[in-house]
Amino acid sequence: MKQILRIFRSQYVWAAIILCALAWGCTPKDPEPAPIANFSYGPSRNLEAPVTISFINESKNATSYEWNFDDGTTSTQASPTHTFTEGGTFRVTLTAKNAGGTDQAYAIITVTSNPFGGNNGKLSFWKTSIGEGNTIIKLSNGSTKETTSYWNSVPSCDNTNLPSFILAPGNYTYSAVNESGRQWSGSVTISKSQCTLIELKKAEGIVKLPSGAVIRSTLISRNGGTIRFTLDIAVADIDNTLSTNLQRANFSIGSLTSNNTNYSFSNDGVQMISGTTSQAYSAALLLDQSGSIQSTDPENSRIEAAKIFCGSLGPNDNVFLSAFASSGKLPYELTYYGNGFTNNGSSYYSTLDNLKNLVDGGTPLYKSTYSVLDYTAQKAPNANKAVVVFTDGVDTEGGVSTNTLIQRAKQQNVKIFMVGLKDADIPSLANIANQTGGAFMFAQDAPQLLTMFGTLGKLLDGTANYYRTTWTMTVNPSVPAGGSYYFWSSVQVKIGNRTVYVPFRVDY
């Protein structure tokens, strides 16, 4: 408790008694002791509004008291408590009284104020200009802010233009995403009266974009220039969930002209199909490490995507990692990693990180796929077997044709899932996937690989929800009777304010 300075005491009782005795011969009485004002208080340190302080009256000889708290309030209690609701410097004065006089004592009390009110703290976000549009920030308590501003240097945490949250002390998680699909996430601890400033750095944000997969393409009928077919399409959103709320209007195929032939399309309907019971899988992951990857995937999205897939295995799923490139930086044209199929997908993380720097050489796509196909057929522990191939180009080495590869996959009862990027051979990859019971995925932009691989497990185990879209294609002039043809284009899928292009191939 803090001791207080006494500032005033005055008493002339003795003088009055002496004069009385001399002048009138009165009998002197004992004088009333003069009051001595004094008090202490607590708490006395680190005071922050609102704060309640107890005042302990230590005065002597007084019969009444007056307190002035210097905030517009007073008290006549002997030992009051008082709450300072705002910050400031206050001169608290105690006046002690009795019949013989008065005395005063005072204390200077400084109370700081919490600019965020109560026990709250503040959380603010900022970013430099990275040319990727507005950013939406969400907290684990459900709060949301949107920011269009950016700064060239670190702003003050009290800048009113910052997207900010006033929060009770505690632990929170946050997520943010901008218009280009770049995402951030993290956790933060909020303390009373303190402002925490977080920078959303471009290098630390991961770009995720919606993506689509054609699970199968099926011809319904062909009558002259009228061809009807279905496309089963799974659509992955940026949170790695498969969409289930799209309508017929969200799907379209644009008309086009090729080789003096006009193709037009009508959307005959969209049906939502639910996935089946999960079937544990063994998937061999085969990654293209040829030289073109340097330009098509400069931020190594394929590596992060593969880590997402390897880290999301079910309790009975297994994965095996391999990579290919001819005359490049890999130890071998086709390199196997680890000790075969494993349920511990995270054991491949360090190997995948090392692959970031091993990009060079040509693309022995089909013979590498053929070899991994045989390895999977022999070594995979699950009956549900698949090879997942990622590539950004076309086969440059030869040796194995697409038909040979398809026939081998059917003989071995192994599905092939093809994932193409940028300049990949869409018609060939789509055909391999469709003929072997796999799925075909294509990324115009490398960040789409993250959502593709984030939902790949559901395609492999059969639990994926998808849309069965039915189409009529009109060909003018009509195709001659007999003969075999194929056509490829893209379904445009509208997801929010984005359009995802999902390439497909139809054989008729």
63-96 pLDDT per residue, tens: 999 999 999 999 999 999 999 988 999 999 999 9
- pLDDT at residue 188 tops 90: yes
**Would you say the CATH fold of 121-207 matches that of 5-113?**
yes
* Residue 420, token pair as written in the block: 């193409």
Asked whether 434 and 415 are in contact (CB, 8 A), the reply is no
Average pLDDT over residues 123-146: 92
**Per-residue model confidence (pLDDT) at position 428:** 97
* Residue 232, token pair as written in the block: 């089963």
**Per-residue model confidence (pLDDT) at position 468:** 98
Percentage of the chain lying above the pLDDT 90 cut = 81
**Per-residue model confidence (pLDDT) at position 22:** 47
Radius of gyration of the chain (CA): 39
- pLDDT at residue 10 tops 50: no
Rounded to whole angstroms, the Cα distance separating 229 from 504 reads 11
The architecture CATH gives domain 5-113: Sandwich (2.60)
- pLDDT at residue 46 tops 60: yes
Give me the sheet containing 206-207, strands edge to edge. Answer: 144-147, 135-139, 170-178, 182-190, 206-207
Rounded to whole angstroms, the Cα distance separating 500 from 444 reads 9
- pLDDT at residue 298 tops 60: yes
- pLDDT at residue 237 tops 50: yes
Task: Provide the pairing of β-strand 144-147 with 135-139.
Answer: antiparallel
Average pLDDT over residues 23-44: 80
**Per-residue model confidence (pLDDT) at position 23:** 47
Q: Of 490, 478, 425, 33, nearest to 231 (Cα)?
A: 490
Average pLDDT over residues 279-308: 96
- pLDDT at residue 36 tops 90: yes
3-state secondary structure of 71: coil
Q: Grade residue 19 by pLDDT with cuts at 50, 70 and 90.
A: very low
Q: Grade residue 97 by pLDDT with cuts at 50, 70 and 90.
A: very high
- pLDDT at residue 24 tops 80: no
Q: Grade residue 21 by pLDDT with cuts at 50, 70 and 90.
A: very low
Measured in whole angstroms, the distance separating CA 52 from the mean position of its chain's CA atoms is 42
Residue 75 vs residues 49, 79, 250, 351: alpha-carbon distances, Å: 20, 9, 72, 74
Rounded to whole angstroms, the Cα distance separating 370 from 356 reads 24
Q: Count CB-CB contacts under 10 A for residue 318.
A: 22
Q: Sketch the domain layout of the chain as residue ranges.
A: 5-113, 121-207, 211-274+469-507, 281-463
* Residue 229, token pair as written in the block: 């077919």
Beta bridge pairs of residue 165? 123
Percentage of the chain lying above the pLDDT 70 cut = 94
**Per-residue model confidence (pLDDT) at position 4:** 52
3-state secondary structure of 315: coil
Q: Grade residue 28 by pLDDT with cuts at 50, 70 and 90.
A: low
Between these two residues, 5 and 402, which has the higher pLDDT value? 402
Cα torsion 241, 246, 250, 252: sign: positive
**Per-residue model confidence (pLDDT) at position 30:** 72
- pLDDT at residue 166 tops 80: yes
Rounded to whole angstroms, the Cα distance separating 226 from 107 reads 96
CATH topology of domain 281-463: Rossmann fold (3.40.50)
**Per-residue model confidence (pLDDT) at position 72:** 96
Average pLDDT over residues 173-180: 91
Asked whether 272 and 467 are in contact (CB, 8 A), the reply is yes
**Per-residue model confidence (pLDDT) at position 168:** 96
Q: What is the DSSP letter of 19?
A: H
CATH fourth-level superfamily of 121-207: Immunoglobulins (2.60.40.10)
Average pLDDT over residues 427-443: 98
Rounded to whole angstroms, the Cα distance separating 398 from 405 reads 12
**Per-residue model confidence (pLDDT) at position 3:** 47
**Per-residue model confidence (pLDDT) at position 158:** 85
| Residue 232 identity | D
Q: Count CB-CB contacts under 10 A for residue 379.
A: 14
How does the average pLDDT of the chain come out, rounded?
92
pLDDT tens readout for residues 345-396: 999 999 999 999 999 999 999 999 999 999 999 999 999 999 999 999 999 9
Q: Count CB-CB contacts under 10 A for residue 126.
A: 22
**Per-residue model confidence (pLDDT) at position 179:** 85
* Residue 275, token pair as written in the block: 């996935």
Phi and psi at 375, nearest 5°, equal -60, -40
> If one looks up domain 211-274+469-507 in CATH, what number appears?
2.60.40
